[in-house]
Structure 1
Amino acid sequence: MVRIIISLLAISLSFHSYALTSVSASVDKNPVMINESLILTVTADDDIDRNALDTSALLTDFIVGRTSVNSQTSMVNFNTTRTTTWNTVLIPRQSGEIVIPRFEIDGVKTQAIKLNVLAADKSVTSTQQDLFITTQVSATELYVQQQITLTVKLHFAAELKRGSLTEPTLTGANILQIGKDKESENIINGKRYRIIERIYAISPQKSGDVILKSPIFSGEIMMPSTRRSNFLSFADTKPVSVIGDDIALTIKAIPAEITGAWLPSELLALHQEWQPEPSKFKVGEPITRTITLTAAGLSEEQLPEITMEVPQGLKVYPDQPELHTGLNNERLVSQKVINFAIVASQAGEYQLPEITIPWWNTVTNKAELAKIPGQKISVLPNTDIIPVTTQQPPSVNLENPTAPKVIEKIVIQSDNFLQWLFLGLWLLTLLAWFISAKRATRSVKTTKVSDPKVNNAYLALLAACKKNNGELALANLLPWAQSQSSNNELLTTLDSIHSHYKDTALSNAIIELQKSYYGKNPSQWSGNNLIDAIQNLNKQNNVKLVNTELSLNP
């Protein structure tokens, strides 16, 4: 028991008597290549606060990476040993002789270290280093908002345990990674390297001379260990950091002669395709015109809008544009593809105006104009369109696809049944009116009459809408509109229906019908909206007719 007490007292006295006596500093390599990492190790022979080492003096000559702190305590024969070790990753900013200054910890200073930094020699670098980064840009002189690509390749011959690669930095620029990382292998000066390639799109927003900062890789590599046992072999890790070369860029301002949209590009082109061929256009059949805008060195967001004007007699329905971005020979290429559905309401020749987009050629440093020339198209009559009429109306042009010939048969069958039905309803109405007129004294109190103006075209249109048959509905729209016209106005096109009725619900229903059949992706059409519109208009006409008839009664 006495021995234990004495031992505890000895340990306690040894703890209180121990104090910091020395601090040392060393580097793991000297000389070192520029942009190559080295490890600065500072060791104190006592248990010191982990924040006692101040490395701010190194920021002028080095890129200072992460610092790891390790504290150990050991006791042998009542002799206690304590150490605190700081490991800091450094990357020299310039070549030449650099002095690592003395560090002071609790009044004790380290010795200064003279570090010899060798200039970047690609051949020497690749043979001596296990880890290095190369960078390459597609252009060093460019305009504001012009895009260039930066290719970053991380070469490593050692086994990586973990690591991360930062993004390049450029003040006042938009930087975006393109695609995913690519992995490959290559032998450089007799040493095999694994390569991770990453590509960035860079678009500066300010003019002037700037420096593009290279990405920094920080991680750990596997190192063979001297610790061995009979059964197991261990491996240690070593922190590493590496940075590529910075790149000087010259950003030119927008030329003074540019007044409109600014589109700096190496190549910008417009292309069009027709379906069907331009010589096969017919009335009522949809025409698809596909316009493609291709630009090198521009992002999807920079591509301008594409619009198409058409003369009277044509309707155009644009689809949502499709955007694509990719790389071609290490150049960023963007595309905008838009489809226009064109429908002709009457035969004839139409002159389509040209489509122009001004842009700036960054190769020739000149303003240029991409355009699709104006084009004349001929629309032929469509003999397959058969109008549905009631009392021999004049022939008209219909804006609809080929109408099946069974339409007339369907209408005739529905007419025979409906005529007998409404004849019976009319007789009942006449009987009711006779009874009510006999009871009335001098005034007519009943003013509501159900559907006094029902015709075959109206019923045929209703039947087509209820069957969701868009082609049949298009074939019966003009005969119905003609039968509803009270001033003998000749309605020959769908445009004339819009201008005649000026009814928003009817116009929207007709446009919905056209888009479902003439759009790029035809969809199933529902006739509910068109039913509501024509029933509402028919009801309004019936009310006017009833009021007129009642006002003539004595």
Structure 2
Amino acid sequence: MVIRILLLATLLLCLPLQALTQLTASVDKNPALRGESITLELQADARAAADAINFRVLEQDFTVMVPSVSQSTRIINGEASQSTIWKVVLLPKRSGDFTIPAFTLQGLSTKPIQLQVLDAVQSNTAGKNRELFLQASIDQQQLYVQQLSYYQVTIYFDGDLQRGSLSEPQLEGAGIQQVGQDSEGTELVNGIRYRTITRRYAITPQRSGNFTIAPPTFSGEMIDRDNARYNYFARTKTVVQQAEPIDIEVRAVPDSFPGSWLVAGLVTLNEEWSPDITSLKQGEPVTRTITLSAVDVAENQLPELVQAFPDGLRLYQEQPQAKSAERNGRLVAQKIFTTAVIATKGGELVLPEVKLPWWNSQTRQLAWATLPARTLTVEAIADAPVNNTATIPRPDADAAVTPTPEKSDAWRWNHISSILLALWLATLLSAYWLWQRRPAPQQAVATSSRVKFNSALLKQACQRNDASQAKAELLRFAHQQLDQRCSSLTELAALPGFAGMKAELEQLNAALYANADVSWQGADFWQKWLQRQPAAANSNQAADLLPLYPT
């Protein structure tokens, strides 16, 4: 048996390369619905390199997924035939008429394909006989800078969903984080009851302007219904769907806003004293705790709180503590300010009012969170010096400082020193004895303390055109994979393995440090990176998608 396999392998290697005589292109559906995936297939009757076809010409009108390439060789009656098939999933960015251009390989070209993409409302089959589709929405499409808004995407599916993953929405220059856990349910759409999976995100834009939220993409496996009717062991089929993009308007901070900018759904200030200050005494400490709470705000957006205190108090302020949590599908952030207060004199002291300006995202008006002024009555201690704890008096520069001599006992000091010396010598002898009896050292297992490189993070940085994050991941790759501690992209470009990416690294460096604004396109860099390391890229291409396992 082994001899037959070796003979067959030798025969395949000896076959001459077949000349290309036919190159065809086709799509699996035409017309198609917006948000529905389209599979473009190119087939050549000869073996060709996997990167012989460049699909980037389609990126203007489609979101282009990673192509899959398969090659085969058949021998029938001594005659060999070879073929190469490219399959790539396309997601239309808008509705309308499109032309998939001709692709050329070894002098042969495919025929252009006229493709029609319809809006869901234009199709009589919208919502009917669709096994899976996505819908996305956002709470507000007119926002302010740093205003948090909730983006929701729902997956509708009618069938047996085996597995799947959902990518994150993308918005240039914005913070995006998932809120809470996925929720499952059912919904009736056009007479069909769909199972649903809903995921929520908090999106916080960081600059003003008009933007488009790139929708998330779902990729999964479903039971093939047509195949399941005739085969008990039903096969699965790949489904790829994308939600509709959403346009938003981000407004700048109003010029009339006072203080640090804070936009939220609700802001409150709460004050607590421990112990109770109904009977405050001079020299005894009490703790004042002010809690700043805000709804629809991340914890890192909460500003510092300005507190004014009158004379006659000594203060010890702790570092503010910030935290956040999800409540009923909304983010709630808190910042706690703790101050220890000691009264240094008796009488009445007035704590001024505490005010914090904030912008109400619901009414779009200026609002104030306040703590009213408070009058403290301090009970003075009899015979207590005034301001005994307020400050430490500074000595006069001309005053002579005379140290007070302490009583000493020479006999006692000598004996204590002798005892300490004896204990120290005994400790040294014990340590030497233990060192002589120590077991033979075992060879330690080498462990790597270096940070592991993850190509998924580099891919996400390229998709967001985040030059700073891309640089950090590249330097981490050099450290972990090449054992090279590079401090700049220039040093990285000088490494032997990056000779083919010198131009791309220079463009990235220019985008980071040029005086003028330089636009950096991460998609071009990622494609070049895939050509340099195809194995590493393919092994991590799904790392950035979170798994969904419906029950």
* Distance in 1 separating the partners of 2:98 and 2:139: 34
* Distance in 2 separating the partners of 1:124 and 1:319: 63
Relative to 1, partners in 2 of residues 1:18 and 1:355: Cα closer, same or farther, differing over 3 Å?
A: closer
Q: Note if contact 1:40-1:88 (Cα within 8 Å) is conserved in structure 2.
A: yes
Q: Does 1:36 align with 2:36?
A: yes
Question: Cα deviations across residues 290-343 of structure 1 (Å, max 9, x unaligned)?
Answer: 212122343222212124333333223333333232345654332212233323
* Distance in 1 separating the partners of 2:48 and 2:239: 25
Q: CA deviation at 1:233?
A: 5.7
Q: Does 1:378 align with 2:377?
A: yes
Relative to 1, partners in 2 of residues 1:124 and 1:322: Cα closer, same or farther, differing over 3 Å?
A: farther
2:462 corresponds in structure 1 to none
2:66 corresponds in structure 1 to 66
Question: Cα deviations across residues 53-90 of structure 1 (Å, max 9, x unaligned)?
Answer: 33234333322112111111122222323222111101
Q: So what's the TM-score if we normalise by structure 1?
A: 0.62
SS in 1 for 2:240: strand
Relative to 1, partners in 2 of residues 1:110 and 1:123: Cα closer, same or farther, differing over 3 Å?
A: closer
2:404 corresponds in structure 1 to 541
Q: Counterpart amino acid of 2:271?
A: Q
Q: Counterpart amino acid of 1:263?
A: L
Instruction: Work out which of the residue numbers 396, 400, 407 in structure 1 matches 2:383.
Output: 396
Q: Counterpart amino acid of 1:217?
A: F
* Distance in 1 separating the partners of 2:96 and 2:179: 39
Stretch moving more, 82-91 or 146-155: 146-155
Question: Cα deviations across residues 424-466 of structure 1 (Å, max 9, x unaligned)?
Answer: xxxxxxxxxxxxxxxxxxxxxxxxxxxxxxxxxxxxxxxxxxx
Question: Cα deviations across residues 82-131 of structure 1 (Å, max 9, x unaligned)?
Answer: 22211110112222343333333333333443433221239954433323
1:279 corresponds in structure 2 to 278
2:269 corresponds in structure 1 to 270
Relative to 1, partners in 2 of residues 1:193 and 1:227: Cα closer, same or farther, differing over 3 Å?
A: closer
Relative to 1, partners in 2 of residues 1:76 and 1:320: Cα closer, same or farther, differing over 3 Å?
A: same
Question: Cα deviations across residues 35-67 of structure 1 (Å, max 9, x unaligned)?
Answer: 110212222222233223332343333221121
* Distance in 2 separating the partners of 1:242 and 1:309: 57
Q: CA deviation at 1:160?
A: 4.8
* Distance in 2 separating the partners of 1:368 and 1:225: 60
* Distance in 1 separating the partners of 2:289 and 2:18: 85
Q: Counterpart amino acid of 2:82?
A: R
Q: Note if contact 2:345-2:386 (Cα within 8 Å) is conserved in structure 1.
A: no
Relative to 1, partners in 2 of residues 1:255 and 1:496: Cα closer, same or farther, differing over 3 Å?
A: closer
SS in 1 for 2:405: helix
Question: Cα deviations across residues 266-307 of structure 1 (Å, max 9, x unaligned)?
Answer: 332222223444423334443332212122343222212124
* Distance in 2 separating the partners of 1:140 and 1:115: 31
Relative to 1, partners in 2 of residues 1:496 and 1:118: Cα closer, same or farther, differing over 3 Å?
A: closer
1:94 corresponds in structure 2 to 94
Relative to 1, partners in 2 of residues 1:281 and 1:367: Cα closer, same or farther, differing over 3 Å?
A: same
Q: Counterpart amino acid of 2:393?
A: S
1:23 corresponds in structure 2 to 23
Q: Counterpart amino acid of 1:170?
A: L
Q: Counterpart amino acid of 1:333?
A: V
Relative to 1, partners in 2 of residues 1:350 and 1:495: Cα closer, same or farther, differing over 3 Å?
A: same
Q: Note if contact 2:313-2:390 (Cα within 8 Å) is conserved in structure 1.
A: no
1:141 corresponds in structure 2 to 142
Q: Note if contact 1:224-1:234 (Cα within 8 Å) is conserved in structure 2.
A: no
2:519 corresponds in structure 1 to none
Stretch moving more, 347-356 or 215-224: 215-224
2:219 corresponds in structure 1 to 218
Relative to 1, partners in 2 of residues 1:323 and 1:257: Cα closer, same or farther, differing over 3 Å?
A: same
Q: Note if contact 2:183-2:199 (Cα within 8 Å) is conserved in structure 1.
A: no
Q: CA deviation at 1:180?
A: 4.7
Stretch moving more, 146-155 or 67-76: 146-155
Relative to 1, partners in 2 of residues 1:104 and 1:238: Cα closer, same or farther, differing over 3 Å?
A: farther
Relative to 1, partners in 2 of residues 1:290 and 1:80: Cα closer, same or farther, differing over 3 Å?
A: same
Q: So what's the TM-score if we normalise by structure 2?
A: 0.62
SS in 2 for 1:498: coil
Q: CA deviation at 1:141?
A: 1.0
Q: Note if contact 2:137-2:153 (Cα within 8 Å) is conserved in structure 1.
A: yes
Q: Does 1:171 align with 2:65?
A: no
Pairing of 1:123-142 with structure 2 (within 5 A): 125-142=126-143
Q: Counterpart amino acid of 1:336?
A: K
* Distance in 2 separating the partners of 1:123 and 1:341: 70
* Distance in 2 separating the partners of 1:126 and 1:272: 54
Instruction: Work out which of the residue numbers 392, 396, 400 in structure 2 matches 1:498.
Output: 392
What root-mean-square deviation, in Å, do the aligned CA atoms of Structure 1 and Structure 2 show?
3.7
Q: Counterpart amino acid of 1:152?
A: V
2:505 corresponds in structure 1 to none
Relative to 1, partners in 2 of residues 1:314 and 1:335: Cα closer, same or farther, differing over 3 Å?
A: same
1:369 corresponds in structure 2 to 368
Q: Counterpart amino acid of 1:253?
A: A
Q: CA deviation at 1:374?
A: 1.3
Q: Counterpart amino acid of 1:255?
A: P
Pairing of 1:162-311 with structure 2 (within 5 A): 163-173=164-174, 175-189=175-189, 191=192, 193-223=194-224, 234-258=233-257, 260-311=259-310
Q: Note if contact 1:138-1:331 (Cα within 8 Å) is conserved in structure 2.
A: no
Q: Note if contact 1:153-1:196 (Cα within 8 Å) is conserved in structure 2.
A: yes
2:352 corresponds in structure 1 to 353
* Distance in 2 separating the partners of 1:206 and 1:260: 19
Percent identity over the alignment is: 36
Q: CA deviation at 1:381?
A: 5.3
Q: Counterpart amino acid of 1:265?
A: A
Q: Note if contact 1:37-1:242 (Cα within 8 Å) is conserved in structure 2.
A: yes
* Distance in 2 separating the partners of 1:169 and 1:67: 22
Relative to 1, partners in 2 of residues 1:86 and 1:306: Cα closer, same or farther, differing over 3 Å?
A: same
Q: Counterpart amino acid of 1:150?
A: Y
* Distance in 2 separating the partners of 1:307 and 1:77: 89
1:82 corresponds in structure 2 to 82
1:403 corresponds in structure 2 to none
Relative to 1, partners in 2 of residues 1:258 and 1:185: Cα closer, same or farther, differing over 3 Å?
A: closer
Question: Cα deviations across residues 464-507 of structure 1 (Å, max 9, x unaligned)?
Answer: xxxxxxxxxxxxxxxxxxxxxxxxxxx466327832779xxxxx
Of structures 1 and 2, the larger Rg is shown by 1
Relative to 1, partners in 2 of residues 1:303 and 1:355: Cα closer, same or farther, differing over 3 Å?
A: same
Relative to 1, partners in 2 of residues 1:52 and 1:161: Cα closer, same or farther, differing over 3 Å?
A: farther
Relative to 1, partners in 2 of residues 1:162 and 1:51: Cα closer, same or farther, differing over 3 Å?
A: farther
2:460 corresponds in structure 1 to none
Pairing of 1:440-519 with structure 2 (within 5 A): 491=385, 494-495=388-389, 498-499=392-393
Q: Note if contact 1:31-1:117 (Cα within 8 Å) is conserved in structure 2.
A: yes
2:528 corresponds in structure 1 to none
Q: Counterpart amino acid of 1:326?
A: A
Equivalent pairs, count: 393
Relative to 1, partners in 2 of residues 1:152 and 1:371: Cα closer, same or farther, differing over 3 Å?
A: same
